[in-house]
Amino acid sequence: MKEFILNALEEIQNGYTLCGVVDRRARVYPLGSDTKVISTLFEIVVRQAVASYAKHSGLELIEPTKQNHYPDFTLMKNVKDQQKIAIDVKTTYKKKGTRRFGYTLGSYTSYIRPETASKNIVFPYDQYAEHWVIGFIYKRFEGKRDTTGLIFSFDSLNEIPIPFDDAEVFIQEKWRIAGDRAGSGNTANIGSISGTIDDFRSGNGVFQTEQEFLEYWRGCKRTA
């Protein structure tokens, strides 16, 4: 799975050129530089790659029907499958002066705990055998690239500014990139390691096994 999806996502690292949203009158609206917009773009691209893998492997692809439900994608043989695969997409941008970055990896007070295994998750946690993260880190263009109010035609696609560059991607099991600190201030989110893209690709987390990861975060109490 890992190599299949990475190969499908190879174009992103080689100058991905998705540049806007098209309406039925063939007008192209530029993406803009909002981080949520760019994150959604990466999720759309990942959806195609995961769907391709699902078709190749004879699996069903399920997405959440409710907001804020984990994971972004579920791969399974059927609804009774007890070996489902969870795939979550994480995105952040490169910060000046450092090659290190991190993510939040989901709540530690909801579905990972046996007593709330069905909370904010598509299927109960114990029905998932694998938990994967597809992570992106990209460079934001600096300076003014304001496209507010601009609409382009198909004839001028090359003129549309793309709000990011130098995107890199990794795929890794969640527990292998998890840290031992909360990831977002006062919220009860698992924090990833703070590392380079190579650390994430290699899975240089702080836990030796997935069970150790679960025992640690299931035992954490929210401090705020």
What is the CB neighbour count within 10 angstroms for residue 98?
9
Catalytic residue, from 90, 94, 174, 199: name it. 90
Nearest Cα to Cα of residue 93 among 32, 43, 35, 134:
35
77 annotated active-site = no
Write down the catalytic residue from 88, 94, 174, 199.
88
Annotated catalytic residue 23: no
Beta strands in 83-221 (DSSP E): 84-93, 104-107, 128-140, 164-173, 178-182, 189-192
Among 72, 84, 94, 199, the active-site one is 72
Q: What angle do CA 196, 131, 221 make, to 5 degrees?
A: 80
Whole-angstrom distance, CA of residue 93 vs CA of residue 85 = 27
Burial 134-154, CB ≥16 within 10 A → b, else e: bbbbbeeeeeeeebeeeebee
Rounded to the nearest 10 degrees, how much is the dihedral formed by the CA atoms of 210, 215, 218, 222?
-110
Q: What 3-state class would DSSP assign to 178?
A: strand
In the residue annotation, 90 being an active-site residue is answered as: yes
How many angstroms separate the CA atoms of 73 and 61, rounded? 7
Which residues carry out catalysis? 72, 88, 90
